[in-house]
């Protein structure tokens, strides 16, 4: 009990000392502010009060720097802002185009998926000709993959699946072409900004070697560095969204083609019964597999035995 009581006393003592320190700090601050206010009074104001005259109006100069806005930054960046601005327009255009294109409804139309799933239910009554016509009605990356599979009707199932993989790789590479430009913008735009900054620093230090009498070296360098850093800021503003969009679109593209792959491999078993029996032409019509009538090569005859001297003289071949 005595120990706890001493702890309470100690806590109260510490709280009182802290309050006292806060009070002393407040008094000291108030006294300093009062002294500053008193020292800011001009002698002319005191004389005017003593003579009962109106004091002169004191006009204080606003020393706060002007605010920053986008237009000011762009104009201060100089010529290096032109390629950065073009990169920003390209990033916006490509991002909008890819976001609108990489939609599930455009990559794998629901109407096409429903029709092909109905044809493959059950899988034994799947008709390649009807599926071929459905793919032509709904052009899309998924329809092109399925069409490539249908044109392999009559081949073994492994060959059909290999064709589907190759077609999906080509389609994915074609869809990713625009995303690669976003990746390029994310990598190149900061370098453009850095180039503008380095050039601006060089110009600032060069101009600081020939100063006028009304300007100081620090003022000249501050203005030059401020102008130079604008390009780096602009490059990062363009590059960071471009990198995020490129990664997002790559993941979205991979997800969509994974769905197309699963869908195509649901259709592929429907072509297995046609292996070696029927094939599909480019018009979507089934034909029997062509029988390759391979004529056996003529068996080479052995050379005739040499004739005897009697046969050579008589000119008659021995029987």
pLDDT at 7 over 50: no
SS3 labels along 48-94: HHHCCCCCCCCCCCCCCCCCCCHHHHHHHHHHHHHHHHHHHHHHHHH
Across 194-209, average pLDDT: 81
Beta partners for 287? 279
Work out the angle at residue 115's Cα, subtended by the Cα atoms of residues 171 and 143, and round it to the nearest 5 degrees: 15
pLDDT at 314 over 50: no
pLDDT at 57 over 70: no
pLDDT at 163: 92
pLDDT at 201: 83
Q: Which of 99-108, 134-143, 167-176, 215-224 has the lowest mean pLDDT?
A: 215-224
How many whole angstroms from its chain centre is CA 82? Answer: 22
Across 286-311, average pLDDT: 52
The reply to whether omega before 315 is within 30° of 0 (cis) is no
In contact, 44 and 55? CB cutoff 8 Å: yes
pLDDT at 202 over 70: yes
Across 207-213, average pLDDT: 67
pLDDT at 246: 94
pLDDT at 236: 92
Tell me which of 117 and 25 has the higher pLDDT: 117
Q: Which of 234, 214, 216, 212 is nearest to 78 (CA)?
A: 234
Tell me which of 66 and 148 has the higher pLDDT: 148
Alpha-carbon gap, residue 24 to 20, rounded angstroms: 6
């Amino acid at each position: 009990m005595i120990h706890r009581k001493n702890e309470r006393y100690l806590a109260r003592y510490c709280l009182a000392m802290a309050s006292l320190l806060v009070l002393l700090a407040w008094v000291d601050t108030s006294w300093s502010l009062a002294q500053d206010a008193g020292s800011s009074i001009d002698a002319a104001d005191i004389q005017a009060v003593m003579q009962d005259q109106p004091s002169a109006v004191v006009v204080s100069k606003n020393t706060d720097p002007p605010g920053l806005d986008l237009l000011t930054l762009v104009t201060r960046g100089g010529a290096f802002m032109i390629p950065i601005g073009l990169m920003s327009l390209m990033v916006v255009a490509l991002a909008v185009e890819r976001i609108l294109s990489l939609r599930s409804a455009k990559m794998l139309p629901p109407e096409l998926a429903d029709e092909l799933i109905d044809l493959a239910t059950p899988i034994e009554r799947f008709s390649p000709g009807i599926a071929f016509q459905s793919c032509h009605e709904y052009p899309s990356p998924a329809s092109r993959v399925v069409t490539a599979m249908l044109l392999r009707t009559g081949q073994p199932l492994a060959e059909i699946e290999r064709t589907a993989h190759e077609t999906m790789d080509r389609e994915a590479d074609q869809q990713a072409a625009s995303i690669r430009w976003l990746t390029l913008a994310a990598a190149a735009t900061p370098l453009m900004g850095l180039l503008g900054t380095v050039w601006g620093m060089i110009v600032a230090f060069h101009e600081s070697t020939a100063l006028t009498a009304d300007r100081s070296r620090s003022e000249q360098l501050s203005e030059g560095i401020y102008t130079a850093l604008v390009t780096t800021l602009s490059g990062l503003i363009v590059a960071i969204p471009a990198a995020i969009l490129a990664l997002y679109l790559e993941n979205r593209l991979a997800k969509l083609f994974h769905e197309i792959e699963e869908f195509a491999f649901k259709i592929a078993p429907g072509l297995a019964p046609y292996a070696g029996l029927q094939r599909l032409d480019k018009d979507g019509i089934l034909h029997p597999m062509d029988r390759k009538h391979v004529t056996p090569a003529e068996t080479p005859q052995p050379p005739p035995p040499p004739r005897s001297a009697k046969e050579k003289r008589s000119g008659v071949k021995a029987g």
